[in-house]
Amino acid sequence: MLSIKDAAHRARQYLVELFGEVADIRLEEVESEENNWLITLSFLANAPQEDAWIMTQSKMIRQYKIFTIDRDTGEVLAMRIRTLHV
């Protein structure tokens, strides 16, 4: 069975495989759901050029992703956008 630490590491690996090098990856949340871990990671990524509302010089925005990881196999089953409610 996959530990929480190993699941978080697998989610991070998967994130880098998909998006390439991203900055400031953070572990935000860990949840248990049936036979899966739900791992929320955030990272800084370049903002799309058409996002004129972003007023930072760095043009970096924090994005949040939830990874569903099978506890038995370590396979990443899903990745979805995490919307923050402020």
pLDDT tens, position by position, for the chain (86 residues)? 999 999 999 999 999 999 888 889 999 999 999 999 999 999 998 765 555 555 555 577 889 999 999 999 999 999 999 887 77
Query: Which runs of consecutive H residues, i.e. helices, occur in the chain?
Result: 4-19
Q: CB burial class (10 A; 0-12, 13-18, 19+) of residue 18?
A: exposed
Containing 67, the helix (H) or strand (E) segment is strand 60-70
State whether the Cα torsion 67-2-23-84 is positive or negative: positive
Domains in the chain with CATH codes:
4-48+56-81 (3.10.450)
